[in-house]
């Protein structure tokens, strides 16, 4: 982990859930986490989706937490038998699970003492973990080492993320701008785009083609850490596209 804002800070997302791998549920957490991390200057470098099998979760988590500055998991922290994320995280870190008194108190206040065994499951946190607040519904998530364990329900996950950002070290905010080309395909855009990309290795230049009855073209997204260099590269790219005979080039608002 880095204290210096010039150093790249990385993260991985680990999505836990058979419902994603069966195609029953459309994941949106990856995109939301990616956007959240980008704002905090952290690069999401990899994502994995695994099933509700302890050995799979442990193996993926240990691979990812060794390699990246942070890992954010989603899913598997509910009250049912297939919610085994806390167990798997404890195994991965080689520690025990213990009932967290703060979560028990929260749940007691909320459910007026009706602490069923299923609900008590949700109070278990690996030894050494700290809580991640849940502003939405249900018990908190937790953090242990460089791993954040969040809910799978998107609305709850997004709420928990708000208690993640302040713990992320060293990131630098990334800025981005978009240049849209109308009426030209990637085949003609590629050469000028590549020339500009090669001249600015610190920048990320991506081409995202669109087509439909309304027309076709490509959105060229430029991303980097230095706003001044970014502005320069936008100008260079527009000039290069224009010089290549591509007429309909405009900068557009970033999404």
Residues within the interface to its own copies (CB under 8 A): 15, 18-28, 30-38, 43-51, 56, 78-82, 111, 114, 116-119, 121, 137, 153, 185-191, 193-194, 197-198, 204-209, 211-213, 216, 221, 223, 255
Q: What angle do CA 52, 68, 123 make, to 5 degrees?
A: 45
- In angstroms, what is the minimal distance from the CB of 17 to its own copies? 8
Contact between residue 196 and residue 225 where contact means Cβ atoms under 8 Å apart? no
How many CA atoms lie within 13 Å of 14's alpha carbon, on the beta-carbon side?
28
- In angstroms, what is the minimal distance from the CB of 156 to its own copies? 10
- In angstroms, what is the minimal distance from the CB of 191 to its own copies? 6
d(CA 128, CA 242) in angstroms, rounded, equals: 58
- In angstroms, what is the minimal distance from the CB of 89 to its own copies? 18
Provide the token pair at 39: 């704002």
How many CA atoms lie within 13 Å of 141's alpha carbon, on the beta-carbon side?
29
d(CA 29, CA 34) in angstroms, rounded, equals: 8
d(CA 176, CA 231) in angstroms, rounded, equals: 9
- In angstroms, what is the minimal distance from the CB of 128 to its own copies? 27
């Amino acid at each position: 982990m880095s204290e210096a804002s010039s150093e790249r800070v990385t993260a991985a997302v680990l999505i836990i859930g058979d419902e994603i791998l069966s195609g029953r549920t459309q994941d949106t957490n990856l995109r939301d986490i990616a956007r959240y991390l980008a704002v905090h200057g952290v690069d999401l470098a990899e994502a994995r989706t695994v099933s509700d099998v302890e050995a799979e979760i442990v193996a993926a988590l240990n691979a990812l937490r060794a390699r990246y500055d942070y890992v954010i998991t989603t899913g598997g922290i509910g009250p049912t038998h297939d919610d085994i994320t806390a167990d798997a995280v404890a195994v991965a870190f080689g520690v025990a699970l213990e009932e967290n008194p703060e979560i028990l108190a929260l749940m007691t206040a909320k459910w007026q003492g009706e602490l069923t065994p299923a609900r008590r499951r949700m109070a278990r946190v690996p030894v050494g973990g700290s809580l991640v607040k849940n502003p939405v519904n249900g018990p908190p998530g937790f953090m242990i080492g460089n791993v954040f364990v969040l809910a799978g329900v998107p609305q709850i996950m997004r709420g928990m993320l708000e208690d993640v950002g302040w713990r992320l070290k060293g990131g630098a905010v990334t800025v981005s701008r978009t240049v849209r080309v109308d009426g030209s395909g990637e085949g003609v855009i590629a050469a000028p785009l590549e020339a500009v990309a090669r001249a600015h290795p610190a920048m990320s230049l991506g081409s995202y083609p669109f087509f439909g009855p309304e027309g076709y073209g490509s959105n060229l997204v430029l991303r980097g850490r230095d706003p001044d260099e970014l502005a320069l590269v936008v100008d260079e790219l527009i000039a290069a596209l224009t010089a290549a005979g591509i007429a309909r080039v405009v900068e557009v608002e970033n999404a």
